[in-house]
Structure 1
């Protein structure tokens, strides 16, 4: 196996979350009856091709996605803590990140302790790695799923504080020691549309493939963009219309084509990246601007063995529980909810909460069978009573 695959991400001492921690696994924990729905690493070790987060408004879905993106970027993008795009307020001094992943013929566990400091009044707060440990074991030593995450008796491959001074001199304070094991081979792509959830700007440069364009708008003949003198220009042509439209602003583009078409071009461009490298695409509110069948089309792309040959994974959040019925497994669905005592965020695995396979996942979520997954009856009734009072 040449590709790098993330197995698990765990955070500790993170204020927003219940008990200060959460764990997100990309391993197939349940029995694998259909191997086409997962990606095989070794024997009975599989990773997910789809992973969903579902929850009501303000339940913490976006925060979870941001932290998943951060951890993945540290390993797969050699990213520096202070240059990656995420909400730094999610971390605090002494936050611990544990990342389990496979690379080549080895399995690794990275422990990183984050520090937070203000070097000067003018510079503001910066993050750095206080300490890190990297454990390594042969992939061939893994006999079961549990073995993959067991490192208690595994030798320590690297420790940040034990590195020679000359090595530390080349390592920036906000770069992880994990970059030392990454070769020059192409790393799996990590792509994110988190920042585009409420900002529907076209990311495309050049001309959109007609097959991609027509999947989202059959009336369009051509859509392209170019940069001239640092100014973006969009060219649009519709079928059965001799005119060609040229606009030079996102506002002008949004007046001509739908938000769903724009999002569709963006997401398909990133899907191509992650499919080619066996990477990860993170999308917040996948259903935004999308017809239900288009969402199904996107999830089906990742489930298709002929297309997804390298085990690329789509990680997305949704408000619409019906989308979960497109998912063939239970262990790749996570639920975010607010703890009833202290309103902290809880991250639950659906398979741990629901054992039955004969009930539609959307029915489970919408029925509030797992408490906190649907708006309360009392809140809805109170809203209706309030509106009634305004009608007097």
Structure 2
């Protein structure tokens, strides 16, 4: 098993400052708030749900892409083949620090320097110029303060680009995780294209939860045909999963995609990344998914849901603040953990967000007033 503990990314052009994301529970874990975390080792817990909250164009999707990119990189994927490599756009050098726990080795730190090189005047690619890998036994971690501290004698490998048999855009950590990796389901690219991504005999209970009017969806492996049956209606033959959008609501399609992926992540103890979780869903469906990740009977292997949202009311599902990240875009994207700015327990999280108590979490008042004036005074003509 491998668990992410922290990622730090410095040098991305889109971001105003260094990105610092904790996956472990920084706040104290007590009996009344332990549903949101899973034990890692000793007194170290990891968050089961992590939320990225911000207004439109604040950089939520970009941050999710950074997280996905780092996970893929640690998994040994070649940089230039990673789907979300576009977060490196216009960046000449980036430093990535990834801290993670490996049951077979202990606590690990990977530091990678990635640079852009030019093949010619038009084409460029990214390579790993320098890299260090540290490993220490969990017995060396006496407290959370020790978790991220490594000594020189704990370096187990230094990249040597002259001697390495690896590709120049692949991490040395590949030698550590040949037979295991972080199980990742990245649904970022599904946000604006809501099509059924998989087909099969979906659990009837899931279909009923999403749309009670559906009696059954089945799949014939021999013919490749799917069948859709609504109560009190004739069965419909569907030759291509893409055609389901003609019969199913967008919420049902998104629900199947996300909940089936969640079930796979629960089984593996991996990571599910979803952008704009509330799109196509009503409040109860969104809350149900979040609660499943917080339920130890459902989420037995410590899987993590990482999602972005505009829906600040979702924050009120969280009893902890260290799994919520506020993102703003003021001459560059910046990220801040909610626990660093909201210490009072008597303030409702959604109200703090909507009232701009957190700063930069609602549209500017001046912009609101200008829009109001235009709506009052302008007449829109239809051609």
TM-score for the superposition, normalised by structure 2: 0.93
Alpha-carbon offset, residue 211 of structure 1: 1.3
Structure 1 partner of 2:232? 240
- TM-aligned CA deviation for residue 243 of structure 1: 3.0
1:381 aligns with 2:379: no
Distance in 2 of aligned mates of 1:83 and 1:233: 33
Deviation string 1:329-383 (CA, Å, 9 cap, x unpaired) is 10100011022xxx10010110001101222110000000011001122211111
Q: Distance in 2 between matches of 1:249 and 1:50?
A: 30
Q: Secondary structure at the match of 1:17?
A: coil
1:348-363 paired onto structure 2 within 5 Å: 348-363=336-351
Preserved contact between residue 188 and residue 274 of structure 1 (Cα < 8 Å): no
Given candidates 263, 277, 283, the residue that maps to 1:286 is 277
8 Å CA contact 2:48–2:302 kept in 1: the answer is: yes
**TM alignment of 1:197-276, pairs within 5 A:** 197-224=191-218, 234-248=226-240, 250=242, 252-276=243-267
CA distance in 2, matches of 1:215, 1:121: 55
Distance 2:206 2:337 in 1: 34
What is residue 30 of structure 1 aligned with on the other side? 27
What whole-Å deviation, never above 9, does each CA across 1:158-202 have from its counterpart, x for those lacking one? 1112x772xx12x11111100101142x43411111000000011
1:189 equivalent in alignment to 2:193? no
Partner-residue secondary structure (3-state), 2:111: strand
* Equivalent of 1:330 in 321, 325, 331: 321
State how far apart, in whole Å, the 2-side matches of 1:318 and 1:223 are.
30
Provide the secondary structure at the position in 2 that maps to 1:18: coil
The SS at the match of 2:78 is: coil
- Structure 2 CA distance for aligned equivalents of residues 179 and 248 of structure 1: 38
Shift of 1:126: 1.5
2:173 alignment partner, one of 174, 178, 187: 178
1:249 shift after superposition: 6.4
Question: Greater CA deviation, 284-293 or 215-224?
Answer: 215-224
1:116 aligns with 2:108: no
User: In 2, Cα distance between the equivalents of 1:330 and 1:260?
Assistant: 29
2:129 paired residue number? 130
| In 1, Cα distance between equivalents of 2:35 and 2:50 | 15
48-57 or 171-180, which deviates more: 171-180
- Tell me by how many angstroms 1:255 deviates: 2.3
Please state how far the C-alpha of 1:325 moved relative to its aligned partner: 0.8
Residues 154 and 102 from structure 1, CA distance in 2 versus in 1: closer, same or farther, beyond 3 angstroms? farther
TM-score normalised over the length of structure 1: 0.91
How far residue 87 of structure 1 moved from its aligned partner, in angstroms, is 4.0
Q: CA deviation at 1:322?
A: 0.5
Contact 1:128 1:173 in 2 (8 A): yes
Deviates more, 1:147-156 or 1:78-87: 147-156
User: In 1, Cα distance between the equivalents of 2:216 and 2:121?
Assistant: 51
Shift of 1:226: 6.8
Map of 1:366 onto structure 2: 354
Unmatched segments (≥5 aa) in structure 2: none
CA shift in 2, pair 1:8/1:89, >3 Å: closer
Q: 1:73 to 1:197 in 2, by over 3 A?
A: same
The answer to whether the 8 Å contact 1:204/1:224 transfers is no
| CA-CA distance at 1:152 after TM superposition | 4.1
What corresponds to 1:301 in structure 2? 292
Match of 1:15 in 2: 13
Deviates more, 1:137-146 or 1:283-292: 137-146
Whole-angstrom distance in 2 between the partners of 1:253 and 1:205: 10
CA distance in 1, matches of 2:42, 2:98: 22
* 1:31 positional shift: 1.1
- Partners of 2:35 and 2:292 lie apart in 1 by 12
What are the residue-to-residue correspondences of 1:57-136 with 2, within 5 Å?
Answer: 57-75=56-74, 77-91=75-89, 92-104=91-103, 105-120=105-120, 124-136=123-135
Deviation at 1:227, TM superposition (A): 8.2
The answer to whether 1:50 aligns with 2:49 is yes
8 Å CA contact 1:112–1:131 kept in 2: the answer is yes
The Cα offsets for residues 53-77 of structure 1, whole Å up to 9 and x where unpaired, read as 00000000000000000111122x3
**What is the total number of aligned residue pairs between the two structures?**
376
